[in-house]
Structures are given as structure tokens and as C-alpha cells.
Structure 1
Amino acid sequence: MTTVIDGINYCIVVLHQQSWMDELNSLPPEKVMALITSTALIWYVASAVRIQLQVLAHDETKET
């Protein structure tokens, strides 16, 4: 945007950054639901893997 003040041209740059909440609010409900579902699935799988690793580590310490 160019503005003239007292006969002098000034160039004004306006930056608008969207937050992640603005991006989330602009998504359709189907994509939000898919995002929430995939996040929950990843959390569930990661928790299961963590438990399995703890069980394996616990069994290994008993044998030694």
C-alpha cells in the first residue's frame, strides 16, 4: 500500500499472520474430525508401544 503524506510517498507493508487457531477455525468440520481422530490414533499407538517397551525392559532385568 502506498500513502502520500505531505507530498511524500510512503510505502506501508501490512503483514497479517494467521495463528494455528485461525487455520483450525477455517477448516471444514470433516477435516477437523479427521485431524482429531488421527491425533487420537497416534496417541493410542504411541502409548501401546511405550507399554510394550516397558514390559520388555522389565522382563529383561528379571533374567539378569
Structure 2
Amino acid sequence: MGQEVKMVTLKEASSRTGVSYDWLRKMCINGKIAHIRAGNKYLLNWDRLVDYLNTGEPEGN
């Protein structure tokens, strides 16, 4: 079957990566990091975020 997608909040992503919450939020707003909005929250695809932080190449939204 399909691969399970791990979604994390900005707060969790910041805590797990050491990257600031504000930087992650700004990158979402500018379309640099793949994310979805759930109300006021940004949810990030964990695997795509790690790939972006390692390569600097966004995969799209």
C-alpha cells in the first residue's frame, strides 16, 4: 500500500530540527517549504522538510 505521510506542526518541526519557528513560518508563507494549512496552523510534510533542509531544493506544495 501507500507510504504513510508524517505531518508536523511548525512548533514540532522547530523543536526537532533546531530551525527557528519564525524562519519555518516565513519559508511556508513564501512557498519554499511544502505545507498545508489547517485553520491557522501550518502542517509540514516531515520527509519533504528534511529533504529541503538537506538540499535546499523545494519539491512543491
Length-normalised TM-score, structure 2: 0.23
Which structure carries more relative contact order (alpha carbon 8 Å, separation 6+)?
A: 2
Higher relative helix content: 1
Length-normalised TM-score, structure 1: 0.22
